Amino acid sequence: MSKVSKSENVPEKMKPLFDAIISLTDEVCKKHLNEEYATLAHHATAALARKRPSPLLQGKANTWACGIVYALGFVNFLFDKSQEPYMNATDLCKAFGVSASTGSAKSRIVRDKLDMVQMAPNWCLPSNLEDNPLAWHVMVNGFIVDARSLPLEIQEEAHRKGLIPYVPGKK
């Protein structure tokens, strides 16, 4: 999985569209989800705005806003009642004024463009990262191991190389 930029820098030409989309995602995330979803939506929107050509140029801001949050919800199991926060897909789409089929279709485009899969560490809510096994698996001498069980020096090196999100031995 490729490293994702956490930057909100976007080309000047894309700035108005970026601002329109994140104002919608911020509103829905504040009302129904949480700050972590809002922050990830900013990063995802910026990443899409930097694509050449940007898919955001095709379609309406509210459909992209819905697709982005829907995709993040897919990655983080938002639609699973056992998770917190929880919201069903139909209600999420209604919050953006979009049909469920449109929200799902835009979500698919977002996931494809940003290489999002369920539990993808790059798109995982920070509060769920510690429990996400994909964030901690590294290969050592041909074996996949949980980095949290490795000596501190190896954890530090894995973090320096961007293989794990933080050094768990120092937490």
* Tens place of pLDDT per residue across the chain (171 aa): 445 557 788 999 999 999 999 999 999 999 999 999 999 999 999 999 999 999 999 999 999 999 999 999 999 999 999 999 999 999 999 999 999 999 999 999 999 999 999 999 999 999 998 889 888 999 988 999 999 999 999 999 999 998 998 898 676
pLDDT at 133: 87
Containing 41, the helix (H) or strand (E) segment is helix 35-50
**Residue that has been written with the tokens 């700050």 in this structure:** 35
Q: How many residues does the chain have?
A: 171
59, 110 contact by CB (below 8 A): no
pLDDT at 4: 58
Query: What is the model's pTM?
Result: 0.88
Containing 26, the helix (H) or strand (E) segment is helix 15-32
pLDDT at 1: 46
Helix (H, G, I), strand (E, B) or coil at 123: helix
d(CA 163, CA 65) in angstroms, rounded, equals: 30
pLDDT at 171: 62
Contacts 24+ apart (CB under 8 A), 160-164: 162/3, 163/138, 164/135, 164/136, 164/138
d(CA 93, CA 44) in angstroms, rounded, equals: 18
Give which of 40, 68, 20 is closest to 129, Cα–Cα.
40
d(CA 39, CA 114) in angstroms, rounded, equals: 16
- DSSP state letter for 135: G
d(CA 98, CA 64) in angstroms, rounded, equals: 10
How far is CA 34 from each of CA 37, 88, 119, 138, 161, rounded to the nearest angstrom? 6, 15, 18, 30, 30
